[in-house]
Structure formats: structure tokens, C-alpha cells
């Protein structure tokens, strides 16, 4: 009857990743460019501090919205198109439709 707590927490954590305006801006920035960006480029474009950007990128990477690859002294972040499009819609979560598991998105 009631959705199991653990399942609700997992869905919530996905929505939580986009529940911040700065993260929305970062994600949309990465998506509009179809090329990877360094942290420095994102900092310059976003208007918030470097440590803040790094913090948000970590959160976005934990739910696989973005992928990271180190190259030399810099980190290249890019959008994970597969994961973004398999992100559950509100309708899916709410209606109990099957939702692809998080590890399925690479």
C-alpha cells in the first residue's frame, strides 16, 4: 500500500540532485555544450566559487548525471545523456511504473 521507505528515499535522492538552482544551471550548461568542460570553465560560466562548483559536481556525479574523466591536471566533466533520459519522471515514480535502476545508467 505505502511505498517502501527505502524505495522512496532512492527516488527522492534523484530528485534532490536537481533540487537546486545552481545544479540546474550547471547541468544545463554541460548539456548545451556537447563537449566536456573543465571545472575552471564551469566556474567562469556559473558565477559561483570554485569549491562550490566542485561540491555540486560531486553531487551530480554521485547520481550519474555527469561523468568525470581526469586529463592532466584538470577534470573533464560531461553530461551523461543516457542517465538523464532514464531519470524517472514524476509520473513514473508516482504511478508506480517500473523505474530503471541507477547502475543501469552509464
Partner DNA sequence: ATCGTTAATCGACGATAGTCGATATATGGG
Partner DNA sequence: CCCATATATCGACTATCGTCGATTAACGAT
List contacts with DNA (CB under 7 A). 16, 19-23, 38-40, 43, 48-52, 54-59, 68, 70, 72-75
Whether 64 and 106 have beta carbons less than 8 Å apart is answered as yes
Q: Which neighbouring-strand residues pair with 77?
A: 37, 68
Among 25, 38, 74, 102, binds a second copy (CB under 8 A): 25
Report how far residue 56's alpha carbon sits from residue 72's, in angstroms, rounded to the nearest whole number. Answer: 22
- Cβ neighbourhood burial of 48 (10 Å; 0-12, 13-18, 19+): middle
Among a second copy, DNA, none, what binds residue 39 when CB lies within 5 to 8 Å by partner kind?
DNA
> Under the rule (CB under 8 A), what is the footprint of a second copy?
1-3, 5, 8-9, 11-12, 15-16, 18-25, 27-29, 31-32, 45-47, 65, 79, 84-85, 87, 89-91, 93-96
Amino acid at each position: 500500500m505505502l511505498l517502501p521507505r527505502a524505495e522512496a528515499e532512492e527516488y527522492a535522492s534523484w530528485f534532490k540532485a536537481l533540487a537546486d538552482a545552481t545544479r540546474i544551471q550547471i547541468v544545463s550548461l554541460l548539456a548545451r555544450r556537447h563537449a566536456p568542460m573543465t571545472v575552471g570553465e564551469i566556474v567562469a560560466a556559473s558565477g559561483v566559487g570554485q569549491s562550490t562548483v566542485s561540491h555540486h559536481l560531486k553531487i551530480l556525479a554521485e547520481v550519474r548525471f555527469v561523468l568525470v574523466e581526469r586529463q592532466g591536471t584538470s577534470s573533464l566533466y560531461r553530461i551523461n545523456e543516457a542517465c538523464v533520459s532514464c531519470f524517472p519522471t514524476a509520473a513514473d515514480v508516482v504511478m508506480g511504473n517500473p523505474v530503471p535502476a541507477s547502475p543501469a545508467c552509464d
